[in-house]
Amino acid sequence: MKSYFNRRGFLKKTSLAAIATTLGSEIVFADKLPRKYLPIAFGEKDALKGKNTDMIVQGDKPWNVESPLNLLDDRVTPVDKMFIRNNGLIPETIDIKDWTLTIDGESVAAPKTYTFEELKKKFKHYTYQLTLECGGNGRSGYYPAASGNQWGQGAVHCAEWTGVKLKDILKDVGIKSDAVYIGYHGKDLHLSRDPKKEAISRGVPIAKAMEDETLIAWQLNGKDIPEFHGYPLRLVIGGWPASVSGKWLSRISVRNKVHDGAKMEGHSYKMPKNPVAPGTELPTTDEFFRIIESMPVKSIITFPKTGAVITSGEILPLRGHAWAGDKSVKKIEVSIDFGATWQSCKLEAPVNRLAWQHWNTSIKFPVKGYYEVWVKATDDAGVAQPMVIPSWNPGGYLNNACERIAVKVG
């Protein structure tokens, strides 16, 4: 991959020439440019280009952009309303003609590399709608605050992905009986721009990798995957923390042990094995932490937007989505009296396994005044969302407390 910097960390002469071409002029004082300093004109692209103007920017180095819940009203999330979670910098140059996918690791008979065209030609294509929720979605609800993006509840999307099944590829490569895990490698850059470091390289146990819905995708909602969502190739694994769905995918390693890439260490994407008091610090060993797998049951209200004002006697239509990791949702209820009583909502089946489910209802309010409308989902194992923020944990993961909106009836 092209780098703008030489081994000593200074901008290459060729890069400076390219910048001069882009700007139509030389950079004045180019010799005074600090090491590793990329002029603005050449920096990372604007992640907000093509995004809805109501998207919430959590940060731009790296880019992290959240969807307000009312923007998630569509059944299939459109690209302009999809949250972005980057750990590093998007690849500087992508040439689809040169893009390949390599399968390697201790547990393959022999490594194998496919060109983009081979992947498309050799294996059957599938399209699934898949719920990808950041493991840290809802982090802002925890106190004391956990470090990381202070997401509200909008780091989730459910778009339609098209590609080939990872299991078909792994069967073609041939994996050994000692395979226990896969780990992905993407072509984004570490924030330090050090090519030896990876921004993130996570994975899943082999059984999840071999599921029908685990895709190596090149299309999102019927078009090329946009740059910020992993163009040209992406691993997509529904129902688990979205951090296992590797963007800008170039390599998958089949491992004979739990994958040990970047963001698999420390307490990244891990929960304490035993509940801890808020603020507790724990050694980050396997004795105390487990890797997050299937995400917990959750629901959101996408209509109306919080703060809705209606007139007395009006019936308020209410709708949203619900999901439950590898499980499905079997019940949705809403409450207008802080959980004292609940009324059941209509709930649809998912279009396919691991896609969110739509729910809707309508509410009549008894008297004028200020209300909170709460929504609660229960999964097919009978586990419901808690009404208050659940188990505090050092990484601020898995806050699936009931979502609520304010409604004023006047």
Q: State the CB neighbour count (10 A cutoff) for residue 277.
A: 6
The label of the residue with tokens 């004795």 reads 287
Q: Would you give the binding string for Mo ion spanning residues 227-246, x where CB under 5 A is met?
A: ----------------x---
In whole angstroms, how close is the CB of 236 to Mo ion at the nearest point?
Answer: 14
CA distances from 21 to 5, 52, 107, 149, 304 (A): 17, 32, 47, 37, 49
* Residue among 134 and 402 whose Cβ is closer to ligand MTE: 134
Footprint of Mo ion on 95-124 (CB under 5 A)? none
- Residue 82 contacts which entry, Mo ion, ligand MTE, none (Cβ below 5-8 A, type-dependent): ligand MTE
* Residue among 15 and 243 whose Cβ is closer to Mo ion: 243
- Residue 345 contacts which entry, Mo ion, ligand MTE, none (Cβ below 5-8 A, type-dependent): none
339, 139, 59, 223 alpha-carbon torsion, rounded to 10°? -70
Residue nearest to ligand MTE (CB): 186
The rounded distance, in Å, linking the Cα atoms of 309 and 281 is: 44
* Residue among 201 and 378 whose Cβ is closer to ligand MTE: 201
Footprint of Mo ion on 119-138 (CB under 5 A)? 134
CA nearest neighbour of 321 among 371, 377, 251, 279: 377
Question: In this chain, which of 51, 81, 85, 321 binds Mo ion, going by CB under 5 A?
Answer: 85
φ and ψ at 139, to 5 degrees?
-55, -30
The rounded distance, in Å, linking the Cα atoms of 195 and 184 is: 16
In whole angstroms, how close is the CB of 330 to ligand MTE at the nearest point?
Answer: 26
* Residue among 200 and 332 whose Cβ is closer to ligand MTE: 200
Q: Helix, strand or coil for residue 307?
A: coil
- Residue 83 contacts which entry, Mo ion, ligand MTE, none (Cβ below 5-8 A, type-dependent): ligand MTE
Per the CB < 8 A criterion, the answer to whether 136 and 151 are in contact is: yes
* Residue among 140 and 335 whose Cβ is closer to ligand MTE: 140
CA nearest neighbour of 237 among 210, 199, 200, 255: 210
* Residue among 149 and 299 whose Cβ is closer to Mo ion: 149
Under the binding rule (CB under 5 A), the answer on residue 199 touching Mo ion is no
Q: Which amino acid is at 93?
A: T
Q: How many residues bind Mo ion (CB under 5 A)?
A: 3
Binding site for ligand MTE (CB under 6 A): 82-88, 132, 134, 186, 188, 199-200, 229, 242-243, 245-248
In whole angstroms, how close is the CB of 86 to ligand MTE at the nearest point?
Answer: 5
In whole angstroms, how close is the CB of 137 to Mo ion at the nearest point?
Answer: 8
In whole angstroms, how close is the CB of 200 to ligand MTE at the nearest point?
Answer: 5
In whole angstroms, how close is the CB of 89 to ligand MTE at the nearest point?
Answer: 9
Q: Which two tokens stand for residue 77?
A: 């999330």
Q: Where are the alpha helices (DSSP H) in 175-242?
A: 206-209
Report the DSSP pairing between strands 100-104 and 249-255: parallel
In whole angstroms, how close is the CB of 347 to ligand MTE at the nearest point?
Answer: 25
CA nearest neighbour of 184 among 236, 240, 133: 236
Beta bridge partners of 186: 249
In whole angstroms, how close is the CB of 85 to Mo ion at the nearest point?
Answer: 4
Where does this chain touch Mo ion (CB under 5 A) — which range of 77-85, 145-153, 211-219, 353-361?
77-85
Where does this chain touch Mo ion (CB under 5 A) — which range of 82-90, 95-103, 122-130, 367-375?
82-90
DSSP conformation letters of 75-89: SS--GGG--EE-SSB
* Residue among 245 and 361 whose Cβ is closer to Mo ion: 245
* Residue among 119 and 132 whose Cβ is closer to ligand MTE: 132
* Residue among 61 and 364 whose Cβ is closer to ligand MTE: 61
User: Which of the 8 DSSP states describes residue 16?
Assistant: H
- Residue 248 contacts which entry, Mo ion, ligand MTE, none (Cβ below 5-8 A, type-dependent): ligand MTE
Per the CB < 8 A criterion, the answer to whether 218 and 123 are in contact is: no
The rounded distance, in Å, linking the Cα atoms of 395 and 288 is: 13
Interface with Mo ion (CB under 5 A): 85, 134, 243
